[in-house]
């Protein structure tokens, strides 16, 4: 017997098992929207009228169970009563269900709302602590981290797991057992759990620690303290009070600028992952069944590992046996790390390793559909590699360069089919950075772009298509900021203060520490390659980098750069970030504004972002913003540099830049498009950016 709703199907069988299957129409993954909630409400009503012994909720989609609430719907929420209505509808529905999860690499269980600037709004802050214990619930909700099926079972979030092959049998067995009254065994919490989750003083301590942890970040990410308050209300008070607190806290955060910007970033990421964004109605991508990677260094090994993990055979080539062996070691250790972190299973790791061939010859590369070149950043070497690749791979392969700053158009020119050549700029470390720039050279064909965009998606990354110009998009915008950090030290501001100013703005690390991570030698190359954008004047940074290189202060990999390092741990500043002259730079300015140091760091990025738009490196503001958030960690709650300009007000930004230009010279000259936006009083986004209520001075 089956009842069909638009998005759900209700089946009952002779054992008294009712199965509700989710298949949300018009969506690739199951999400909760108003219609689904309505369907579900009707299903529950029907079940209540004629209760079965067990209800099983499952997905009829291969893409998994449920991705959560429809983010588009959240974005359209306009008023507090509307928000409350949606929350109440959800609260009414989600009551206790037994939990069985498919144990494969794709299964992730979590409450990722804080990554959207929200808190769980359908009872998650109330139910999760009861299910998995207070400490685990705080970790999951405040960090937005998801658990694999196995970890979720260990935590008590799911009752049982079953591997994909055995899933249907396991579901049937489970459904038979539940009506038979066999109790589900929940994991114990251990002594620590009993103390911290089970006693008043224990819980008070856990909350105190959590409050301290989110304290500094609450202004930028108001969802963190809000989630904490909701959880605390649920743990300390009666059930109804907890749910009411959750509702109030959700209402409090849903209209904040942070939630607006983080939701935008989420939707932009979805948009970037859609091929039609980049090649509307264009040619179909070529399926990638084999990949060649040339260069087994830091980037080559990282890319090889990524491709292998995506299930695609990959041949990695370098010039000498010992280098190839070193590359293989890197691939293996990246894979082992992923297993260690629980990101992939041991079986998946074995399969990935099996996909890799390492070689010093061109022969094994034959038959690859895509080649990624990641050899040293020298044009003569890369040109030779492209010539050889074109010969070894034949006419139909797509050839891509991972160059940071060389011209893709010039590399393409040495091959017989420049239409099949493009840039494919991964970021370091490859396994962690979500962004990949797909660089369109002058002659790159739409088919090539389509193939590479699809390839990047398959690797689980986010593609942005950019034009071929020095530094492409992200480095071009990032380096004026890094350069300015170096200038600030030369102008007398201690490096630690420079970094602190950037972190207070919302950057994950300061610019000097970032330079240490990138490597001062690599930074020197990129910074030099960008000089043409500055009228040929490279400024003092490249020379400073060269001096550091002579001193062996190459950054983290050398144990010393702008800071000292012990392993990955940052230590004291070195003389390279210690000024030798007194500071002329003022410490801050009036309330409601950024300090001078912050302005000197952030405004060059805003200005260069505007220039990228003006020069057609990309077509729309959102692409710039998304790329900067994903490629550099640019303060996500601010939504990107152009969003920042809108939030500060383009008129104010232009006024400030004019002042900076007067004080420091032409490098602060206002981008034409920025002045034009200021002229007509509108920002980069039609929806306008919500202005932060109290933009405090951050010193």
**Which residues are the active-site residues?**
404, 425, 437, 475
Closest residue to ligand NAI, judged by C-beta, is 297
Position among 120, 285, 295, 506 found at the interface with ligand NAI (CB under 6 A): 295
Least separation, in Å, of the C-beta of 328 and ligand NAI?
12
Q: Which region, judged by CB under 6 A, interacts with ligand NAI, from 132-140, 179-187, 246-254, 374-382?
A: 374-382
Does 403 participate in binding ligand NAI (rule CB under 6 A)?
A: yes
Decide whether 385 or 486 has the Cβ nearer to ligand NAI.
385
629: left (phi > 0), else alpha (psi -120 to 50), else beta?
alpha
Please identify, among the stretches 32-40, 50-58, 400-408, 414-422, the one whose residues bind ligand NAI according to the rule CB under 6 A.
Answer: 400-408
Q: Does 375 bind ligand NAI (CB under 6 A)?
A: yes
Using the minimum distance from each CB to ligand NAI, give the nearer residue, 208 or 325.
325
Binding mask 54-83 for ligand NAI (x = CB under 6 A): ------------------------------
Nearest residue (CB) to ligand NAI, 33 versus 403: 403
Of the two residues 518 and 601, which places its CB atom closer to ligand NAI in the complex? 518
Nearest approach in angstroms of CB 384 to ligand NAI is 6
Q: Which is nearer to ligand NAI, 74 or 399 (CB)?
A: 399
Among the listed residues 344, 452, 356, 438, the one whose alpha carbon sits nearest the alpha carbon of residue 397: 452
Rounded least distance, CB 329 to ligand NAI, Å: 12
Answer whether 66's CB lies under 8 Å from 28's CB.
no
The neighbouring-strand residues paired with 147 are 109
What is the C-alpha separation between 633 and 225, in angstroms, rounded? 22
Query: Does 319 participate in binding ligand NAI (rule CB under 6 A)?
Result: yes
* CA within 13 Å, CB half, 268: 24
The 3-state secondary structure of 388-406 reads HHHHHHCCCCEEEECCCCC
Q: Which stretch binds ligand NAI (CB under 6 A): 110-118, 144-152, 420-428, 462-470?
A: 420-428
Dist. CA 660–CA 669, nearest whole Å: 9
What are residue 196's phi and psi, to 5 degrees? -80, -35
CA distance 364 to 381: 20
Length of the chain (residues) = 699
How many residues contact ligand NAI, by CB under 6 A?
A: 25
- 68 CB contacts (<8 Å, ≥6 apart)? 31, 32, 112
Q: How far is the CB of 298 from ligand NAI (least distance, A)?
A: 4
Binding of ligand NAI by 385 (CB under 6 A):
yes
- CA–CA dist 391, 302 (Å, integer): 25
For residue 297, state whether it binds ligand NAI (rule: CB under 6 A): yes
Looking at the Cβ atoms of 175 and 628, the one nearer to ligand NAI is: 628
Question: What is the DSSP-derived secondary structure letter of residue 532?
Answer: G
Nearest residue (CB) to ligand NAI, 123 versus 295: 295
Q: Is 317 in the site for ligand NAI (CB under 6 A)?
A: yes
Tell me which residues in 182-241 interact with ligand NAI (CB under 6 A).
none
Contact with ligand NAI (CB under 6 A): which of 159, 264, 318, 484? Answer: 318
Q: Is 300 in the site for ligand NAI (CB under 6 A)?
A: yes
Q: Any contact of residue 555 with ligand NAI (CB under 6 A)?
A: no
3-state helix, strand, coil in the chain (%, to 5): 55, 10, 35
Let me know: does 400 contact 373? Beta carbons within 8 Å: yes
CB of 511 to ligand NAI, least distance (A): 15
Choice from 402, 448, 577, 632 touching ligand NAI (CB under 6 A): 402
517 interacts with ligand NAI by CB under 6 A: no
Q: Determine the number of helices (DSSP H) and then strands (DSSP E) in the chain.
A: 29, 18
The residues, any chain, with a CB within 8 Å of residue 453's CB and separated by 6 or more, are 275, 278, 279, 285, 438, 463, 465
Could you tell me the smallest distance in angstroms from the CB atom of residue 444 to ligand NAI?
A: 18
Distance CA 430, CA 643 (A): 26
Measured over the CA atoms of residue 668, residue 674, residue 680 and residue 685, the dihedral's sign is: negative
Backbone dihedral angles phi then psi of residue 3, each to the nearest 5 degrees: -110, 130
Instruction: Candidates 47, 131, 146, 323: give the one binding ligand NAI (CB under 6 A).
Output: 323
Q: Work out which of 197, 377, 443, 596 binds ligand NAI, going by CB under 6 A.
A: 377
Please, what is the minimum distance in Å from the beta carbon of residue 515 to ligand NAI? 11
Residue 404 contacts ligand NAI per CB under 6 A: yes
Burial zone of 28 (CB within 10 Å; 0-12 exposed, 13-18 middle, 19+ buried): exposed
Least Å distance between CB 426 and ligand NAI?
6
- What is the Cα–Cα distance from 488 to 483, expressed in whole angstroms? 9
Task: Work out whether 294 is an interface residue with ligand NAI (CB under 6 A).
Answer: yes
Per-residue buried b or exposed e for 294-319, using 16+ beta carbons within 10 Å of the residue's own CB: bbbebbbbbbbbbbbbbebbbbbbbe
558 binds ligand NAI (CB under 6 A): no
Which residues would be at the binding site for ligand NAI (CB under 6 A)?
A: 294-300, 317-319, 323, 374-377, 381, 385, 402-404, 426-428, 518, 522
């Amino acid at each position: 017997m089956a009842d069909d709703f638009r998005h759900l199907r209700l089946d009952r069988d002779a054992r008294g098992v009712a199965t509700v299957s989710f298949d949300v129409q018009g969506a690739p993954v199951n999400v909760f929207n108003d219609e689904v909630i309505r369907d579900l409400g009707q299903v529950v009503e029907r079940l209540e009228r004629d209760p079965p012994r067990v209800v099983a909720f499952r997905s009829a989609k291969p893409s998994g169970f449920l991705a959560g609430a429809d983010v588009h719907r959240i974005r359209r929420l306009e008023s507090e009563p509307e928000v409350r209505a949606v929350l109440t509808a959800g609260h009414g529905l989600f009551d206790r269900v037994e939990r069985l999860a498919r144990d494969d690499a794709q299964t992730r269980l979590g409450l990722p709302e804080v990554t959207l600037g929200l808190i769980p709004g359908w009872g998650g802050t109330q139910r999760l602590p009861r299910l998995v214990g207070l400490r685990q619930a705080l970790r999951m909700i405040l960090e937005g981290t998801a658990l694999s099926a196995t970890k979720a079972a260990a935590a008590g979030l799911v009752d049982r797991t079953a591997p994909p092959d055995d899933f249907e049998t396991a579901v049937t067995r489970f459904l038979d057992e539940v009506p038979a009254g066999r109790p589900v065994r929940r994991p114990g919490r251990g002594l620590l759990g009993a103390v911290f989750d089970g006693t008043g003083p224990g819980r008070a301590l856990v909350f105190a620690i959590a409050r301290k942890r989110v304290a500094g970040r609450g202004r930028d990410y108001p969802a963190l303290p809000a989630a904490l308050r909701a959880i605390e209300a649920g743990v300390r008070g009666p059930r109804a009070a907890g749910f009411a607190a959750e509702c109030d806290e959700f209402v409090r955060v849903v209209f904040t600028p942070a939630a607006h910007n983080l939701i935008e970033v989420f939707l932009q990421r979805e948009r970037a992952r859609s091929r039609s964004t980049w090649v509307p109605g264009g040619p179909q991508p070529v399926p990638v069944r084999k990949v060649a990677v040339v260069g087994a260094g830091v980037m080559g090994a990282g890319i090889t590992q990524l491709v292998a993990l995506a299930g695609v055979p990959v041949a990695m080539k370098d010039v000498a046996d010992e280098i190839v062996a070193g590359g293989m070691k890197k691939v293996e250790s990246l894979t082992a790390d992923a297993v260690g972190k629980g990101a992939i299973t041991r079986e998946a790791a074995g399969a990935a390793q099996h996909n890799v061939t390492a070689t010093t010859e061109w022969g094994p590369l034959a038959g690859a559909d895509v080649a990624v070149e990641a050899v040293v950043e020298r044009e003569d070497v890369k040109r030779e590699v492209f010539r050889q690749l074109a010969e070894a791979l034949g006419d139909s392969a797509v050839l891509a360069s991972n160059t940071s700053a060389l011209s893709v158009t010039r590399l393409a020119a040495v091959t017989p089919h420049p239409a099949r050549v493009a840039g494919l700029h991964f970021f370091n470390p490859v396994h962690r950075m979500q962004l990949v720039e797909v660089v369109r050279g002058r002659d790159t064909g739409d088919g090539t772009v389509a193939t590479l965009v699809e390839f990047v998606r398959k690797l689980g990354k986010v593609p942005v298509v950019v034009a071929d110009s020095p530094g492409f998009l992200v480095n071009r915008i990032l380096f004026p900021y890094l350069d300015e950090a170096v200038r600030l030290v030369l102008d007398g501001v201690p490096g630690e203060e420079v970094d602190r100013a950037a972190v207070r703005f919302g950057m994950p690390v300061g610019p000097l520490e970032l330079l240490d991570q990138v490597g001062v030698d690599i930074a020197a190359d990129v910074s030099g390659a960008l000089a043409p954008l500055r009228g040929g004047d490279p400024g003092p940074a490249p020379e400073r980098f060269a001096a550091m290189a002579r001193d062996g202060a190459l950054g983290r990999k050398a144990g010393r750069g702008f800071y000292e390092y012990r392993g990955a741990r940052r230590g004291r500043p070195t003389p390279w970030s210690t000024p030798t002259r007194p500071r002329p730079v003022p410490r801050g300015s009036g309330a409601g504004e950024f300090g001078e140091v912050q302005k000197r760091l952030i405004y060059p990025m805003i200005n260069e972002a505007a220039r990228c738009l003006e020069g057609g490196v990309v077509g729309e503001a959102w692409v710039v913003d998304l790329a900067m958030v994903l490629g550099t960690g640019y303060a996500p709650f601010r939504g990107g540099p152009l969003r920042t300009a809108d939030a500060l007000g383009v008129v104010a930004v232009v006024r400030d830049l004019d002042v900076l230009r007067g004080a420091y010279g032409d490098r602060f000259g206002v981008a034409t498009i920025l002045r034009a936006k200021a002229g007509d009083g509108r920002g980069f986004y039609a929806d306008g950016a919500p202005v932060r209520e109290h933009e405090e001075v951050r010193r």
